[in-house]
Amino acid sequence: MRMQKRLLFCTLAAMSSQSMAAAYKIPEQSINSTALAGAYVANAHGSDASYYNPAAMVFNEDGAMLEGDLTFIQLSPIDYTGATGLTDSTKTENVILPAFHYVSPSVGNARFGLSLVVPAGLSKRWKGVGRAFAQEFTLETIEINPNIGYKINDRFSIGGGVRAVYTRGRVESSDSAFPPVTVGRTLKGDSWDFGYNLALQFKATDDLDLAATYRSKVELNVEGYAKLFGSIPPGNPGAGTPLPTYEGGAAVTVPIPATLALAAAYTFREKTTVEFTYERNYWSAYKDLNFSYDTALNPVFTAAFDDPTPKNWNDTNTYRIGVTHQLNPKWTLMAGFAYDESPAPKETIGFELPDSDAKIYSIGARYKHSDALSLGGSFLYDRKDKLTLAPGENTVNGLLAAGAEFENARAYLLTVGLEYKF
């Protein structure tokens, strides 16, 4: 039952998933970023530079520009096999995410930008025994990110902005999907939370660009509504006796980790640009999970939903490489690869987020229809490693403590959009 407690954090407070990156981030917010597997910092240009590197905005060609994108995401079923012979799988999830980016004309040595993106999201629905922990597990977010970039000289610029993140989520767990678990809940919650981002851009030579960006930790102070229900579990006095339903408020504070990106992009013969990006994700800020409720809970609900749960996530690295090739004046081709580490230790992993390391492959293209209008599309494939839990390795979920395997976790992204300059 203690395992169920972690659902509210991931659903109401997180920001992706099994999805496009380890844990619950969605880095892909434009045609270029999807096509380059996120290796898009030092070579960020165009409207989406507002989000990926506001210091680079000032080196865009003059004039205003905006880009609108739609990303279709499909999350494949995850298959679970337990050491006790139990099996289960999640339902296929299909999601469409919008993104918008704008960069202003130059105002002296400065430019202003605005991005509206979906920085994270997660949807999990187990079909069988997993419903005791994640019958429905849905997360929706939106970020409003105004930025400013300032050119110090022809080689060096700085930038930064404010992150305003709205989070909304829902989770349901069943009290009858797995006999030892006889309590369940329905949870809803939302929050507005704030952070900041900073950027540096250095044009070391005409062909070499160096960049660094930092996105701050954001503390999510989520408040919502909870309904807890069920009966006393087996092995306890009064087993099977219905419990008084709790209906009231629930709150929790959890961190969205800070992220540091260091990038270098080199252009060969003015046609082919190769970028390498290193990311450090400070997930160790997530140490434990502790809920509060409007009133005291009975002992069964306290054990299941209220006692602090250790998380002890690890800081992680992500390595990205992207190649952009100007085929001719009309067509630009792109491809990328990334290796993304998972922050979740096997000791504290669960059904709501059976995360593992990922290998990411991507391709894309842009077509210049006119001096003002360009169109593009990109595709990304995210393949998670098989996750194997040895007996006794997991310490927070009684079902997983016996040993388990999670496999076939995949994500497919298709981004289409257009950019207009005026």
CATH of the domain at 413: 2.40.160.60
Joined tokens for residue 139: 């997360």
For the chain, the domain total comes to: 1
Q: Which amino acid is at 418?
A: L
In this prediction, residue 49 carries a pLDDT of 97
Percent of the chain whose pLDDT exceeds 90 = 66
**Residue 178: pLDDT band by 50, 70, 90 thresholds?**
confident
The mean pLDDT of 253-261, rounded to a whole number, is 87
Please give the model's pTM, rounded to 2 decimal places.
0.89
Output phi, psi for 60, to 5 deg: -65, 155
In this prediction, residue 116 carries a pLDDT of 97
What is the C-alpha separation between 156 and 324, in angstroms, rounded? Answer: 23
- pLDDT tens per residue, range 33-79: 999 999 999 999 999 999 999 999 999 998 999 999 999 999 999 99
Residue 330 reports pLDDT greater than 60: yes
In this prediction, residue 280 carries a pLDDT of 97
Contact partners, residue 347, CB within 8 Å, separation at least 6: 312, 393, 394, 395, 396
Q: Which amino acid is at 194?
A: F
Q: Which of 261, 265, 159 is nearest to 204 (CA)?
A: 265
For the four alpha carbons of 7, 13, 19 and 23, in that order, the dihedral sign comes to negative
Residue 161 reports pLDDT greater than 80: yes
Residue 393 reports pLDDT greater than 80: yes
In this prediction, residue 23 carries a pLDDT of 59
- Full domain range(s) for residue 318: 2-421
Neighbours of 302 (CB within 10 A): 12
The mean pLDDT of 180-201, rounded to a whole number, is 93
What angle (nearest 5°) sits at the alpha carbon of residue 167, between those of residues 416 and 217?
95
Strands (E), 46-92: 65-75, 79-82, 87-89
Neighbours of 240 (CB within 10 A): 10
**Residue 422: pLDDT band by 50, 70, 90 thresholds?**
very high
**Residue 22: pLDDT band by 50, 70, 90 thresholds?**
low
